[in-house]
Amino acid sequence: MKRKNKNKDTVVFPKSLLAPVGNFLGDQLKNLQKRKEEISNEDPFSQDSRVTDNAAPDTEADEQFGHARTTAIKNQIVRNIIQTRKALARIKIGKYGICENCGKMIDTDRLIVYPEATICVDCERKKEK
């Protein structure tokens, strides 16, 4: 379907096609939020007993490593949550599948593999350089 937009043809996906994508992304968002909470609970630094525990150096190193690991995983989950929310917002405003940088259509193969994509492959490559 094409929509006229300031003398420019913009291709948009029909709402009937976007409904399952929106449902999938909504479920994915719930799973990510649940996983974030689980990871936060696994962080050794969130344990109440840690404050009063006089741990041996090897236990302390284990806790440091566990904290670094859970922090890294949690940061990645937060990035995924943000990207998923952006994709859901773009569905809501009718801009899903349109690159937020260049305004061109995002390749459907990319959207199938990475449905939360908000930029096209070309812009992604430019961003990585």
Q: Write the pLDDT tens digit of every residue in 14-55.
A: 777 888 999 999 999 999 999 999 998 888 777 765 555 556
Over residues 115-123, the mean pLDDT reads 92
Token output for 33: 């939020």
Token output for 87: 């994709």
Tens digit of pLDDT for each residue in 51-104? 555 566 666 777 788 888 999 999 999 999 999 999 999 999 989 999 999 999
Spatial distance between the Cα atoms of 18 and 74, rounded to a whole number of angstroms: 29
pLDDT at 96: 92
pLDDT at 121: 93
pTM of the model: 0.75
> Is 125 a residue whose pLDDT tops 60?
yes
Nearest to 104 by CA among 84, 86, 124: 124
pLDDT at 48: 62
E strand spans, the chain: 2-5, 8-11
pLDDT at 4: 40
Task: Please state which architecture CATH assigns to domain 2-128.
Answer: Up-down Bundle (1.20)
Close Cβ partners of 33 (under 8 Å, ≥ 6 residues apart): 81
Contact yes or no for 43/70 (Cβ under 8 A): yes
